[in-house]
């Protein structure tokens, strides 16, 4: 279970950095690498979102 948490944390960090770059420089790294609207890019976004949700649920479970 620890490896899943590390993976979720890594994906959430990647997502946060991507949003920071979008806000600061109007540069979307995921779209730049995989192409705008590509299936792979959409999968990355879904995985980042699920990772954030999983970390949020885990965070509330520990309180």
* Per-residue model confidence as pLDDT tens digits over 19-38: 999 999 999 999 999 999 99
Q: 48 or 62: which carries more pLDDT confidence?
A: 48
pLDDT confidence band for 63 (50 / 70 / 90): confident
Q: 3-23 b/e with 16+ CB inside 10 Å = b? A: eeeeebeebbebbeebeeeee
């Amino acid at each position: 279970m620890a490896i899943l948490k590390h993976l979720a944390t890594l994906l959430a960090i990647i997502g946060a950095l991507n949003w920071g770059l979008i806000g600061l420089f109007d540069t979307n790294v995921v779209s730049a690498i995989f192409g705008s609207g590509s299936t792979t890019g959409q999968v990355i976004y879904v995985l980042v979102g699920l990772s954030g949700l999983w970390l949020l649920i885990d965070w509330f479970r520990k309180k």
